[in-house]
Amino acid sequence: MKAYFLCLLCLLIIGIPLFSFAGQGGYHYFQNQFDPWTHRNIGIHFKVTNTECLVGVEKRSWTFESDFIETNQSSLNNCNSQEEISHNIIVKNHEDIIANYRIKMNLDSSLENSTSEINQNYWHHADLMSHGTSIIGTINIYDYILISASEKSAVTGWMGQIYNSIKEKPINQILIPGSHNSASNNLGLERSPDFNSDHISPPEIIKKLSQTQYYSIMEQLERGIRYLNIQFCFDGKHIRVCHGVYSKDETAENIFIDVRDFLSRKENNKELIIIDIQNFHNWILLPYLFKQKFRNMIQNYLGQLVAPQNHFSPTSSFQNFINSGHRVIILQDNPNHNLAWDRAQSICHNDYNFNQINDILNQFENNIKIRELACSHDKFLLSELAYKMKEINITHPNGVSLKDFLGPFKMASIKKLNEIKSEKWLKDKGNIIIEDFSSGFDLALIAKDINTNTVTVRIQNEYSDGYWGDWANETQLINSICKTNEYVGSYYQISEPNQENGDDTALNAIRMNCYKYNNGKAYYFTRMISSNEILWKNSRIGAPSGCFNGPANGFQMLIETNQIHGDDTAANSINLKCLKSNDAISQVFTSWGTRRPPALCPVGYALVGFITRVESNQKEEDDTALNGVRGYCKPFIQ
């Protein structure tokens, strides 16, 4: 599996008084940092430049000084917050620039964005969600900026990349990323008959509140989406996409052509797409000849790609679809033709009728957890991360759109995915997950990891945690974990020799080396990784050691117990447990304590990183330096 880099989530928020759009502004940022559980975001970082009007930005490094940043209203800097405030956000993967976003903000209008220096090897995505609107249950008084990025090679043909891991699974037991109202990216102003509310009549407002996606159908497929959620209306001549208003350019024919063309590419020969016609307005009332015409349209454009229901079901294995060439599933209510599966008999969709953020997220989780109670085992399960509007209060006409409402919800839903993606119930029971304004690759890469069971496993035990100090932050592990398909193979330690009458600290630091493997053997060193450490002036670097014929699959600590009234040292050394050879034992300069039980990766996994627990300088008190270690493992893919 090729390495990928996903999702710098940079959430910048312009603080403003409720329903007031003048006065001093402020930023509060939220960054979806490196996620050790799915190995995402390695190397992805960003820098904010042109920041004359911002206070609290570290201009010399790729980070913020603090998590609250104010606008500078000094007249000397010409930074009146009522005027336009601009800055750049440069997104990088290690040293490669992915994109340079130019953000323009004005507290009396919507956010604007332009992009330059785009790296064609990456997908990138920017959500701009403006202030000035409120919904019952959610008050949006901030501006949200969401930026994410992914290496294209990780997303292109992602189902084919993991084919061996999913080929025998029923299709309704595979996690599939989807989009909500997938074809609503380019809506027009022509009212469509499916809109049935009298509360909001101007088509301009309907359009803003009905758009749920940024990208076209083809772009979504290229970005990893494999489930399309579609609504059709017949305008008397054509079958068109509708969602309160008609799409400017999307018709049924266009969608079928895009799906066909996407699947015809060589790199997509093991991809499968579900087209869910969630609503075909007045389908039951349309004449039989029209329904036959629609069936013929499917046959003409998709032909043998369509999987007929009389030969397949949601419990058919993934390889059955791929090997037969029938790689398109069409769902529709009362289809009256054999090319579509009856939606009511094929998919569970537990709709909800509330718009409180926590209620939506809890329903999303419970929908999956209790799948066996709420959904037949022989159906698909559709779970939504989508906002439902029940009552709207427009407070600023320039900021009225569905995406502007979604700032707080989008942040909360991404946090929710980060929390649950390592949960067993999601892997065992999750199926189709859809979201609004999807980047595509965010969900696709989470699905890719979960479907292949490559979510990172943390290994630890009470014996290797030590006693004192603070653990490194698990969300900031860029330098503490190997890249995808790389594993720990050797290491060295830095320790302080016996200080005789002085204060002993023993183990000060650990440095591990990452390698690529071929046929079980390391053939290419990639980089060194480390975690928190404290180096005392007398510490020394010991001779390195490594594993032979395979990577490390765990570690074992030598830790001195609490000496009560004596000189404590805590951790004295660490040995690497090797997958196919004896322990790797690098040089250290003390040996106090007892060897603790090992912390081992699960069978078939190998060590990819670690974090440390380190006690800071205690001044005149007893120092111990490095205390404990926890490791991270991923499946060993040779």
* pLDDT for residue 79: 57
Question: What does the pLDDT read at residue 586?
Answer: 96
Report the distance separating Cα 189 and Cα 211, nearest Å.
Answer: 12
pLDDT band, very low/low/confident/very high, at 39 (cuts 50, 70, 90)? very low
Q: What are the tokens at 159?
A: 């189902």
Residue 93 has a pLDDT of 72
Report the helix count and the strand count for the chain, using DSSP H and E: 15, 39
Highest mean pLDDT among 60-69, 161-170, 447-456: 161-170
Whether residues 392 and 470 share a domain: the answer is: no
Judge whether residue 41 has pLDDT over 60.
no
Residues 168 and 302 occupy one common structural domain: yes
Q: Mark whether 482 and 620 lie in a shared domain.
A: yes
Averaged pLDDT, 522-537: 91
Query: Are 483 and 542 members of one domain?
Result: yes
Q: Looking at the structure, do residues 118 and 223 belong to the same domain, yes or no?
A: no
Phi-psi region of 132 (alpha: psi -120 to 50; beta: other; left: phi over 0): left
State the Cα–Cα distance between residues 476 and 92, nearest whole angstrom: 16
pLDDT given for residue 336 in this prediction: 84
Residue 5 above 80 pLDDT? no
Q: How far apart are the first and last CA of the chain?
A: 10
169 pLDDT above the threshold of 80: yes
Confidence of residue 52 (pLDDT cuts 50, 70, 90): low
- Does one domain contain both 316 and 185? yes
Half-sphere CA count of 176, side-chain side, radius 13 A: 30
Is 468 in the same domain as 419?
no
Domain boundary pick from 152, 183, 204: 152
Q: Report the pLDDT averaged over residues 190-212.
A: 79
Residues 6+ apart with CB under 8 A from 364: 383, 384, 385, 416
Residue 94 is predicted with a pLDDT of: 63
Which run of H or of E encompasses 164? helix 163-166
162 and 131 share a domain?
no
My answer on whether 296 and 172 are in the same domain is yes
Are 534 and 429 within one domain? no
Residue 229, domain extent:
156-454
pLDDT interval class at 519 (50, 70, 90): confident
pLDDT at 207: 86
Domain containing residue 397: CATH number: 3.20.20.190
Residues 481 and 596 in one domain: yes
| Contact predicate 199/453, CB 8 Å | no
Nearest to 323 by CA among 300, 307, 310, 309: 307
Above pLDDT 90, what percent of the chain? 50
Name the most confidently modeled range: 100-114, 139-153, 413-427, 518-532.
518-532
Give 206's pLDDT tier (boundaries 50, 70, 90): confident
Q: Is 160 exposed, middle or buried (0-12, 13-18, 19+ CB in 10 A)?
A: middle
Tens of pLDDT, residues 285-332: 999 999 999 999 999 999 999 999 999 999 999 999 999 999 999 999
pLDDT band at 142 (very low <50, low <70, confident <90, very high): low
**Which of 105, 123, 152 represents a domain boundary (last residue)?**
152
For residue range 98-138, what is the model confidence (pLDDT) as tens digits?
A: 888 887 766 555 666 777 778 898 888 877 776 554 433 34
On whether the CB atoms of residues 45 and 62 are closer than 8 A, the answer is: yes
More confident residue, 237 or 52: 237
In this structure, the answer to whether residues 380 and 513 fall within a common structural domain is: no
Torsion of CA 385, 478, 451, 179, to 10 degrees: 30
Give 380-402 pLDDT, tens digit per residue.
999 998 877 655 544 444 445 77
Give the CATH number of the domain where residue 499 resides.
Answer: 2.100.10.20
Within 10 Å of residue 425's Cβ, how many Cβ atoms?
13
- Residue 390, token pair as written in the block: 């029940």
Of the given ranges (268-277, 412-421, 549-558, 605-614), which has the lowest mean pLDDT? 412-421
* Of 68-77, 443-452, 499-508, 618-627, the least confident: 68-77
Query: Does pLDDT of 610 surpass 70?
Result: yes
Residue 457's pLDDT band (cuts 50, 70, 90): confident
- Confidence band of 583 (pLDDT split at 50, 70, 90): very high
pTM for this structure?
A: 0.74
Last residue of a domain, one of 128, 152, 176: 152
Q: Average pLDDT over the chain, rounded to whole?
A: 81
* Count of domains for the chain: 3
Higher local confidence (pLDDT), 372 or 629: 629
Residue 67: the pLDDT is: 40
